Amino acid sequence: MDKEYLDKLRHSTAHLLAAAVIKLWPKAKPTIGPAIENGFYYDFDFGDIKISEGDLPKIEEKMHELVKNWKNFNRIDVSIHQIKKEFKNNKYKIELAEDFASKGEKLTIFQSGEFRDLCRGGHIKNPSEEIKYFKLLNIAGAYWRGDEKNTMLTRIYGTAFSTKKELNSYLKMLKEAKERDHKKLGVELDLFTFSDLVGGGLPLWTPKGTLMRNILDEFVWELRKKYGYEKVEIPHITKKDLYVISGHWEKFKNELFKIKTREKHFFAVKPMNCPHHTQIYSRKINSYKDLPVRYANTTMVYRDEQSGELSGLSRTRSFTQDDAHVFCRKSQITDEIDNIWNIVGEFYGACGFDLKLRLSLSDPKTPKKYLGKRAVWEESENSLRKVISKRGINNFLEATGEAAFYGPKLDFMAKDSLGREWQVATIQLDFNMPENFDLYCIDENGKKERIVMIHAAIMGSIERYMSILIEHFAGKFPVWLSPVQVKILPITEKNISYTEKIYNVLTEKSIRVELDNKSETLQAKIRAAQLEKIPYMIIVGNKEQETQTISIRSRDGKNQQNIGPDKFINNIKNLIDRKSLDL
């Protein structure tokens, strides 16, 4: 479906939502109601009135009733004086109107039926015929204009489609996504937890969750090591001066955790690692023969996210970057990015993701958002186009305005098993930070040559990638990634001695195994292992003990009876070594 039309449909449905709310709660104050990815929302100030998700059906009913009389969206040009008069009891609309007017924008009201709303426009032509297939989804809190110093509003989320089939398909996907929610599964599988005493957005990792993180990070390191990367380590705080020079203090200051020392010095808790790495590079004079210099560093960073924006592992205040920075000559850019691209492809292939490319560019209309001169940006963006051309990629999206403030980037987009798209790995080309920090090498003629910097994060945020993996696999991880790969279930106490022998053999072969020797029925033990989504269960009874064999029950219900332990070990080791997705 045409995205522009869908955005208009959803924005129009947001108007309808506001109209229904006002009919039901006349004192409620509507604020803003944009279309967003997969739907829309509208924020309201209900004052002392409390509404819940139990109210959504009656709001929907009122929306269906009102839309019958909505024949069009009638545009009315108005003055700021008229806005202040009409919306005298709604400070939010007046504030918006004053902002629009200060920027020289025309003020318009759009009316459908009896409902009138301050709006820039972007609506469908015939709402009574086109707004049919919508659903209100949930309620959340949201600060006015995203500022926690402002009033907390009530946000009602919804979605809309042009056909019933599309709506039903989306609602079915949402239902399955809810069942796969990493915030639910991560706790059930004992991978991570949160503590009110530690604080929101600060996940705590259990032994199993930590094991998974380490498996993923070690995989990235094994891939990087092939291309000559070296590990470095850095502190978690820095003087303000470092980020002033890098540009982060100006462009990123609202997301920095700041520290003032007893000696009145200003420090920041690091929100990223690149400025620190520049100082490792610049500790000595580098010859062109030393380049490329490749540093890798898995380390936690911290960002002062607003409480209302936190969401499980997807949006946190502390997260871990598997970060790397390449310092190289311009002539080496293509080969270095090509190598990183190979790492990205192999890493995501192991979890079955097909990747699409997005070239994220600067927006020439908003130069203040970026460091450096326009000519430098054009050069760096063209350099990335050359890399894409070398790979023979023709089907990719150019996204104006999505660049980092210091450089353009290649963003890799992955679709999960529910068809949702996530931005995962990123490769950023930076001509500006080397300029700010005066990073150079000595060229063949003994002169200083400005170098460039390539930022490369394969997972980006391990926390966020873990959330994607949990939901992608619904917690049923491939054998190579599962925290526990095998669980041994003795049927009776008489079988425990033999199962302990099997446990020791598997452990010696570096297979992650647990032994369930609790005094419970076999069915109870199987049920527990299924809930933990463990790939394999080894079941041992008197028959297996007598024949020195084992019986295998896989997570997907397949059974193998009375096979030799060595054969099973060879099979599972083969799956692990190949990073197979099969059982």
The residues annotated as belonging to the active site are 274, 303, 321, 323, 325, 409, 455
| Count of residues making up the chain | 583
Q: Which residues of 239-269 are buried (b: 16+ CB within 10 A; e: fewer)?
A: ebebbbebbbbebbeeebeeeeeeeeeebbb
Separation CA 533–CA 520 (nearest Å):
19
Q: Which amino acid is at 240?
A: K
Q: Which residues of 523-558 are buried (b: 16+ CB within 10 A; e: fewer)?
A: eebbebbeebbbbbbbbbbeebbeeebbbbbebeee
Task: Give 477: exposed, middle or buried? Use CB within 10 Å, 0-12, 13-18, 19+.
Answer: buried
What is the secondary structure of 273-297 as a DSSP string? SHHHHHHHHTTS--BGGGPPEEEEE
Separation CA 36–CA 249 (nearest Å):
30
At 109 the three-state DSSP class reads strand
Strand 486-490 relative to strand 513-515, pairing:
parallel
Q: Could you tell me which residues come within 8 angstroms of residue 52 by beta carbon, excluding any fewer than 6 positions away?
A: 139
Separation CA 247–CA 405 (nearest Å):
9
Decide: 175 and 166 in contact? Cβ < 8 Å. no
Q: 407 has which bridge partners? A: 404
Q: 161 has which bridge partners? A: 133
Q: Which amino acid is at 149?
A: K
Q: Could you tell me which residues come within 8 angstroms of residue 78 by beta carbon, excluding any fewer than 6 positions away?
A: 86, 107, 108, 109
Helix H, strand E, coil C: the string for 115-170 is EEEECCCCCCCCHHHHCCEEEEEEEEEEEHHHCCCCCEEEEEEEEEECCHHHHHHH
Decide: 299 and 273 in contact? Cβ < 8 Å. yes
CA dihedral for 304, 308, 310, 314, sign (positive or negative)? negative
Q: Give the number of C-alpha atoms closer than 13 A to the C-alpha of residue 505, restricted to the C-beta side.
A: 17
